[in-house]
Structure 1
Amino acid sequence: MIRVWDPLVRGSHWALAASFAVAWLTSKNWEGLHAASGYVAGGLVALRVVWGFLGPRYARFTQFVRSPGTVIDYLRAIKDGSESRYIGHNPAGGAMIVVLLAAMAATAVSGWLLTTDAFWGSTVMQHGHSLLAHGVLALVVAHLVGVVLASLRHRENLVRAMVVGVKRPSEPGDVA
């Protein structure tokens, strides 16, 4: 087994998932907890962005952010059943990380804006915040589908890998 994801990547991943779940589940009833979990999510996004520049190899954006053409080619390869196994995040997973981080950041910022004088009581901002949160939920579902698909196709438990941080070593045809 080889170490792929460091403790900060893994911890921030699961903490972000938990903070979004808490924010989602408390959006109608517990405003204080909802806001607190939104601030935690925003802070975790900021931490992950910094770590994407300063962290170890597999945490860095330069390792997993690919061009749109590479992502499209990878998605076509999935359709054909010929996609390569990646030791770190595959091109579709890398794109999902960027989109999820941006959507989570936008959701957290729009939630914070609702507490400011400029947007207090703004139904437009409330609808925008809700739309962003629903979008994040849709992205989370797509992310989970991708994780299950990649786990099955490459015979590798990616959820376990994100818990313990290790994956099996690179084999011929894999992308390190």
Structure 2
Amino acid sequence: MPKPAKTDPSGSAVMDAHRSPEMVRVWDRVVRSFHWALVLSFVIAWLTSHSSEIIHHWAGYAAAALVAMRLLWGFVGTPYARFAQFVRGPATVLRYLLAIVSGREARYIGHNPAGAAMVIVLIGTMGSTALTGWLMTTDAYFGVTWVEAAHSLAAHSLLVLVLFHLGGVALASFRHRENLVRAMITGRKRKAEPADIA
């Protein structure tokens, strides 16, 4: 026969050690929609680069629109979506990267400094890819070698950055015992603990 739950003097059940941690809302719907829509547009553009020019172009236009929307939302969006909340200087990013190497990096509720730097670089590289891709369709730059080379370089750089991003997400998820992919789906993360940075 199961034992009844222990109670404290006030009569409330004592918290179970295995109870799910308290969660807080971090990523709003705009940020989450942007993230997954950008993933989709990149995958479509990559897969159609040699098979369907029309779909490839429209995926690029979608990516450009998403980047523009995210730039705006970075100034007027919810607290954790704003650049002012998560963008940090090179020295802070370097210190965080060194802390990762030593296994002493802090857990951030929003983007950590390395993740924030990756967000900015990914947005910039995606914007450059979309811009050079569009230039290739114009009369002035159609067939121009350096524009084609710049578009190819940006697209391949984007793929490498995505791989680094996935690695960073996997590492942070492991180190801090939370599923960051799920957090970008639900918008919720574990509430800040005393050593965490909100």
TM-score with structure 1 length normalisation? 0.99
Alignment match of 2:51 (pick from 10, 26, 29):
29
1:108-147 alignment runs, 5 A limit: 108-147=130-169
SS of 1:24's equivalent in the other structure is helix
Deviation at 1:98, TM superposition (A): 0.4
After TM superposition, where is structure 1 displaced by more than 4 Å over at least 4 residues in a row? none
Match of 2:11 in 1: none
In 2: Cα distance, 1:76 partner to 1:147 partner? 17
> The residue matched to 2:104 in structure 1 has which SS?
coil
Per-residue deviation at 1:172? 1.2
**1:12-51 correspondence runs (5 A):** 12-51=34-73
Residue 100 of structure 2 corresponds to: 78
RMSD (CA atoms): 0.5
Whole-angstrom distance in 1 between the partners of 2:38 and 2:99: 30
- Measure the CA separation in 2 of the matches of 1:78 and 1:10: 26
Equivalent of 2:193, from 165, 171, 176?
171
1:107 corresponds to 2:135 = no
Amino acid at match of 2:152: S
Instruction: Name structure 2 gaps, 5 residues minimum.
Output: 1-22
Equivalent AA in structure 1 for residue 159 of structure 2: L
> Residue type of the partner of 1:51?
W
Post-superposition offset of 1:95: 0.3
Partners of 2:183 and 2:196 in 1: CA distance: 17
Deviations 1:93-147 (A, max 9, x none): 0000000000000000000000111111122211210110000000000000000
> What percentage of aligned pairs have identical amino acids?
60
Q: Deviations over 1:5-47 (max 9, x none)?
A: 0000000000001100100000011000000000000000000
Give 5+ residue unaligned stretches, structure 1. Answer: none
Q: Give the secondary structure class of the aligned counterpart of 1:161.
A: helix
Looking at structure 2, the residues matched to 123 and 17 of structure 1 have their Cα atoms a distance apart, in angstroms, of 28
Counterpart secondary structure, 1:167: strand
Give SS of 1:66's match: coil
Q: Distance in 1 between matches of 2:84 and 2:42?
A: 26
Structure 2 counterpart of 1:90: 112
Q: Which of structures 1 and 2 has the larger relative contact order (alpha carbons within 8 angstroms, sep 6+)?
A: 1
Output the CA distance in 2 between the equivalents of 1:22 and 1:122. 24
Q: Does 1:5 align with 2:27?
A: yes
AA aligned opposite 2:155 = A
| Greater C-alpha radius of gyration | 2
